[in-house]
Chain A
């Protein structure tokens, strides 16, 4: 676009009316649109007319309308009449669309710094959230019980699809993570234990650490990031699309139709993934130990079997069931609470992962204390 002439305006006070004479090119993106100064109309008594003289007007776009709107609003607040007959017809039409005064926009709520108020609010919110989670857990559990007697509104196909997504499709990543964790444990152990010529006890170290802690926690963290986030995002998107409302209208409770199969799928698959993780983790340690130390495969195997009695597996199994239920219920809950926009889906997924990982580690600490008390 050719750089046009500069926009100009003049206020002419005639005897019976105020005239605004406009000249030059009024192009919004030129950044040269002058500001209308309301002072020029302060001397005008209410009821007077403002007219426009556009004889010198060149090209124009919304930049002109912007200026005219300022004038129109000033005139309206001063009780002046606007006579648009001097304007190009198109400009008059656009000006006609604009209101006389700016509605005082609903002011965004002012945030004041009130730490106690914030702390109290957060605490109450957290307590309420715990209650809501407990309720959702109760509803889901009762749904699971009803599902056993085939009374829940859950379709087997949904459950199977969820199990497939949470189980077989997660084998690769769970396997990789646990293999590497087992290998790392063996590395760390081998360096230390070799100093005491206790090479063979690498097997004990790897087996106990993997079975008691690492396989369960690692699997739960992976599943929280993989499946928990997916649940939260999926449910949040369904909420945004009014799919949950549609379910509610036909009388299908979201807790049965969505939450139950999701949570059950995790509860079914995660203990199995844990056992698989134990196996792969011990295998990882085995590979590293054989490569680094002077141990026979049979010796390592024997030492491993001696090191972990069956109740260790049972303990890990119970733990992962609890992790799975926690991840499933909190992820679904976060999805159900999400807002309706695209950004909210991202927030929900992030939140689900954070809550899941922190929750898993916190629960694991509690389990460790319990195990110590009961002496497993």
Chain B
């Protein structure tokens, strides 16, 4: 690709986890986790239920401090910086779509999108209003600007959450299960949207998902986490893992076959 915003293969990764151990109290979720997210890619964190996908996402957006290991964010050690610095990174660079959209329920959809802009930009109200309409328009939600989150369906809430994640034009977007709970048409529209946002805004996307059609359609890199050994068992794009990974669990996941973890093979 000739777009200067996209990475060349020898560029340093935009985000990197190095030998990271993630744990809640005594409960270790993932250990020896290393991954590289290159600029401009759509990076998928894959794995079965309960393997710690969402926890990895939490670590990457700075909500969970790794017990061990380092998190390199665009060349700087994320956790070595001050709290202000981390907040600054989160505000300027991260846009997060949470699993249940996490819209602020006391505000209308429009106010949800406007709040980050009101708090952190010097834009005047009419400009904010126009940008709110634009962001909602991009996700096809401009008609719901004055509605409350409780009046929306699950898919609409998710799209509104995406509009809010885009509020400050972040260059890294995190999606936690974006297409879970959406019908196939909405899910594929969301996939297109993610691709267009990546191409259009030059954003890097980290996506946690186990929706195979979405993964094959959009992700161009990724890791596969294992719930049992609590570590990464494969690196690569979903398509590459499907076609080239020998691990039986990865194969079973990618081809939707039954897999018995105890027996260590297909059933």
Contacts and interface: CB of A to CB of B under 8 A. Distances in A.
A97 B195 CA distance: 12
B105 interface: yes
Interface stretch (A12-20, A339-347, A358-366): A339-347
Interface stretch (B49-57, B58-66, B145-153, B177-185): B145-153
A90 B106 contact: no
B123 interface: yes
B225 to A, nearest CB: 28
A62 B105 contact: no
Given A94-B200, A97-B138, A97-B140, A33 B127 contact: yes
Nearest to A347: B106
Contacts of A29: 121, 123, 168-169
A2 interface: no
A97 B137 CA distance: 8
A62 B134 contact: yes
B145 A105 contact: yes
Contacts of B145: 105
A343 B105 contact: yes
B145 to A, nearest CB: 6
A40 to B, nearest CB: 18
A99 B200 contact: no
A240 B157 CA distance: 15
A90 B135 CA distance: 16
A66 B130 CA distance: 7
Contact of B201 (A61, A66, A339): A61
Nearest to A68: B134
A28 B138 CA distance: 15
Interface in A81-116: 89-91, 93-94, 96-99, 102-103, 105-108
Nearest to B117: A29
A375 interface: no
B166 interface: yes
B131 interface: yes
Interface string A27-39: 0110101000000
A340 B193 CA distance: 29
A288 interface: no
Given A90-B196, A98-B137, A340-B150, 12 more contacts: A29-B121, A29-B169, A33-B127, A61-B201, A69-B134, A94-B201, A96-B196, A97-B140, A102-B143, A105-B143, A105-B145, A106-B146
18 contacts: A28-B169, A31-B124, A33-B127, A61-B169, A62-B166, A65-B134, A69-B134, A69-B137, A90-B202, A93-B196, A98-B138, A99-B142, A102-B137, A103-B142, A105-B145, A341-B106, A341-B150, A344-B150
Enumerate the 3 nearest inter-chain pairs by beta-carbon distance, A residue then B residue, closest first.
A341-B105, A343-B106, A90-B200
Interface of B: 3, 105-106, 121-124, 127, 130-131, 133-135, 137-140, 142-150, 166, 168-169, 192-193, 196-197, 199-202
